Amino acid sequence: MSKRDYYEILGVARSASDAEIKKAFRRLAMKYHPDRNPDDTEAESHFKEAREAFDVLSDPNKRATYDQFGHAGVEQTAGAGFSGGFSDAFSDIFGDIFGGGGRSRVRKGADLQYNLELSLEDAVAGTTVKIRVPTLKHCTTCAGSGARPGTSPETCATCGGHGQVRMQQGFFSVQQTCPNCRGKGTTIKDPCSNCHGAGRVKEHKSLSVEVPAGVDTGDRIRLSGEGEAGDSGAPPGDLFVQIHVKPHPIFQRDHADLYCEVPINIVTAALGGELEVPSLNGRLNLKIPAGTQTHKLFRMRGKGVKPVRGGGVGDLICRVVVETPVNLNGEQKELLDKLGASMGKSAKKHSPNENSWLDSVKKFFEDMKP
């Protein structure tokens, strides 16, 4: 067994209180317990080391001797038996590992989830939403006990009120949930007529949900204590509101940035101009330079979203799409023909991308020839 300082093993100061020592041992035992780390000899060694340290430091007499004489003062007693403090802590830890303990434990009510759909505008700006949630609440007739008014639940005869039954397996004593009372520690012989012994009844409740600005799909809002009521008057669980932002007809969101497509005609694309584009904060002017090609991106700083988790405001990114004119009349077609003829042999100058692509295609086919 390692002879490291016991305080160092548990990670506490020499002035640590009994509660701090017990808490430190619980943490290490939960981490290194052999049942949680099967076939891990290193974890087993850490567990034994922590157990020895706690056995000494949890006993006032042993601790005083250790503080005065070190390991030499406690060598003959350390590990020889478990002190009362060790037994109590170990029993609690076993309850955490195997889902039970040496006494009946109230069971917190189940958590609930509500899926909330929001518009992009509400998600970005924040809003207050009224929701109606189906849930279980404590029965008012029996005050959540499950027993008929004027009577009380009785101590379970199987587990003696502990909610657990004990089974000895070699060195360890394993505790399991009592099959008779299902861990409550009590049974009901005369059930409440309203809840039929359940202690809870179904209901719908209305809640106001404060949605902070900047939320996005996948974010959750926690409403503490708004879940299902627990068994036998135990505290309720929580309600988690899951955010889903509905698709928007104009904008797409990517974290803090907003994207939108802006169709422009060939005249504006060729000669340049100024357009009015939308944002979530109002109308904006977008300058289009002459010779703009389709899918060019224009970034408008600070016109996006401020994320709920902090950080700067994102940008609005406009992607222009040059539209080919349709439904032309005779005069318009004639004008386009004249435009094409006027370009003549200088077409490469006016359509560099097209001619570059044609040159690449020509070379591709020439390379294919045997």
HEC sequence for 61-117: HHHHHHHHHCHHHHCCCCCCCCCHHHHHHHHHHHHHHHCCCCCCCCCCCCCEEEEEE
* Ramachandran bin of 270, using left for φ above 0, alpha for ψ from -120 to 50, beta for the remaining angles: alpha
Task: Please check the confidence at residue 332 and state whether its pLDDT lies above 80.
Answer: yes
The DSSP secondary structure of 7-28, one letter per residue, reads HHHHT--TT--HHHHHHHHHHH
Residue 312, helix vs strand vs coil = coil
Task: Please check the confidence at residue 161 and state whether its pLDDT lies above 60.
Answer: yes
Please give the domain boundaries of the chain with CATH numbers for all domains: 6-98 (1.10.287.110), 252-323 (2.60.260.20), 330-368 (no CATH)
pLDDT in tens, 112-127: 899 999 999 999 999 9
pLDDT in tens, 224-264: 888 888 776 678 889 999 999 999 999 999 999 999 999 99
Amino acid sitting at position 66: Y
More confident residue, 93 or 277: 277
pLDDT in tens, 32-76: 877 777 778 888 888 888 888 898 898 888 888 888 777 776 765
**98: its two tokens:** 């195997």
**200: its two tokens:** 């809870």
Q: Which residues contact 26 (CB under 8 A, 6 or more apart)?
A: 89, 92, 93, 96
Q: How far apart are CA 181 and CA 104, in angstroms?
A: 10
Q: Which residues contact 113 (CB under 8 A, 6 or more apart)?
A: 239, 240, 241, 242
Nearest to 288 by CA among 267, 258, 260, 257: 267
pLDDT in tens, 87-102: 445 545 544 444 444 4
Q: Return the exposure string of 308-336: e unless at least 16 CB atoms fall within 10 Å of the residue's CB, then b.
A: beeeeebbbbbebebeeeeeeeeeeeeee
Nearest to 221 by CA among 128, 313, 340, 349: 128
pLDDT (average), residues 343-361: 69
CA distances for 362 relative to 136, 170, 351, 356, 357, angstroms: 74, 84, 17, 10, 9
pLDDT (average), residues 76-92: 47
At 106 the pLDDT is 55
Asked if 273 and 305 count as a contact pair (C-beta separation under 8 A), the reply is no
Long-range contacts of 323-332 (CB under 8 A, 24+ apart): 323/263, 323/264, 323/265, 323/266, 324/266, 325/265, 325/266
Least confident of 122-131, 152-161, 258-267: 152-161
Q: How far apart are CA 316 and CA 300, in angstroms?
A: 5
pLDDT (average), residues 264-277: 92
At 181 the pLDDT is 82
CA 337 to chain centre: 61
